[in-house]
Amino acid sequence: MSQWADLPKELLEMISKRLDLRVEVLRFRAVCSSWRCSVSPPSFDQEIPPFFLKLPPPIRAPDPIFAGAILMQTTICRMEFLCNYSNSSCSLSKSSLVKVGESKHGKLQLFHPLSNQETNDSFRSLNLLDLKFVQLSKACLLKWPGGISVFGINKVVVFPLSGCIDNCELGILAIYHEGKLGYWRYGDKEWTLLDDRNFEYDDIIVYKGQFYVVDRWGTVSWIDSSLKVIQYSPPLYGCGGQKNLVESCGDLYVVDRYLDGERRTWKDFEDVMDTNGNPHRFSRLMSKARPMAVDFRVYKLDEEWGTWVDKKSLDDRIFILGIDCSFSVSCRDLSGGKGNCIYFCDSRYGGQGMSGGAIHVFRFEDHSIDNLALIPDFSEIFWPANTGSST
């Protein structure tokens, strides 16, 4: 150990600059006092500053609504629990999914990947030297300073501009009011509506460095640097009521969710806004029963023939449909859990906007849907396993 502690400071600095995750920098500094003194702690409070966001009002509302909101970025990771280093025949003993927050003051914040419930109490007992974090995806969430998700925002991603050099040129793409696609740049006084003919967008994803969106008919489009929406695929014409985009093994998939009723649309938001542009009757909208999932179908685009392929199995893959991020992972890389299934949040009441409901699991082999609390073996892919699985 003394030989490692005597490495030149310049070499340690070069190594630290090649660490992708901030948590890896903390692990690097935890090795010994000389490594800790050679590398500065990562900055956790300068990445994205709080900004004033003008909530997108319905078309007929003349007066905007201003409120300070914070854009929170997190990283979905596979957290590997390493074995005792003296046992050279063992590389890892357990691997679980966790969401790592961009916390302030150099303190890590860990969240459940689906429920977004903070798990810091369990994290305090962990030794960073016994962990390895593998980045799987990025997630964004708009919150009020008090920690509550911004109502009416369904999905948001950071949209960097060409030549953007600081946070003052930060831009975001969002699906809001259950279907509108908009863009907001730091300092803008209002949202820019990117498509005034289609208010039926369901999901947005960053795929191979490009921004893609899908509407309720399963048509996938991409957004170029000039914010032009360009059709990428033919319509899916799936009969489901809600679409999600997921990247798996380098391919783009559309997940079609079948519901037991009609879901809200952008018109519902217009109905609860008065002529002065101030929201009212929100309690009635929020208490309205929501349709729940009863089945799923998954499609992969055959780019050569321009047709959709109905996938009958996900094999060893697990699809995670989060509120702020959807991704896939192999069950072989995780402790417990099974492949060929979809994890998602669902709730008849509550779970509005960018907040979820109870976690459910859809299994392809029999098309069954169960609450995660009733099948505890399936919760082992998350850390800690019992977080976010309640009804």
Pairing of strands 65-81, 131-143: antiparallel
3-state secondary structure of 304: coil
The answer to whether residues 98 and 134 touch, using CB atoms and an 8 Å cutoff, is no
d(CA 204, CA 245): 7
Cβ count near 23 (within 10 Å):
21
Pairing of strands 341-346, 317-321: parallel
Q: What are phi and psi of 83, to 5 degrees?
A: -75, 170
Please, how many CA atoms are within 13 Å of residue 88, restricted to the half-sphere of its CB?
Answer: 0
DSSP track, 185-211: ETT-SSPEES-SS---EEEEEEETTEE
Angle, CA of 53, 242 and 295, to the nearest 5°: 145
The predicted structure's pLDDT at residue 63: 41
d(CA 176, CA 184): 12
Written as tens digits, the pLDDT of the chain (391 aa) is 557 778 888 888 888 877 766 667 777 777 777 877 887 766 544 444 444 455 444 344 434 444 567 778 888 988 887 764 434 444 445 788 988 875 555 567 788 888 888 776 555 666 767 777 888 998 888 877 777 777 778 899 988 754 444 455 678 899 988 899 999 887 777 788 999 999 999 999 999 989 999 999 999 999 998 999 999 998 987 789 999 999 999 999 999 999 998 887 777 766 665 444 445 555 556 556 789 999 999 999 887 887 889 999 999 999 999 989 999 999 998 877 789 999 999 887 654 444 456 899 999 999 999 999 899 889 889 977 665 555 4
Query: pTM to 2 decimals?
Result: 0.82
Exposed, middle or buried: residue 60 (CB in 10 Å: 0-12, 13-18, 19+)?
exposed
* CB contact set of 390 (below 8 Å; sequence gap of 6+): 358, 373
Q: Which CB contacts under 8 angstroms, 24+ apart, belong to 278-283?
A: 278/63, 278/65, 279/65, 282/151
The answer to whether residues 362 and 342 touch, using CB atoms and an 8 Å cutoff, is yes
Q: Rounded to a whole number, what is the distance in angstroms from the first to the last CA of the chain?
A: 49
The predicted structure's pLDDT at residue 121: 58
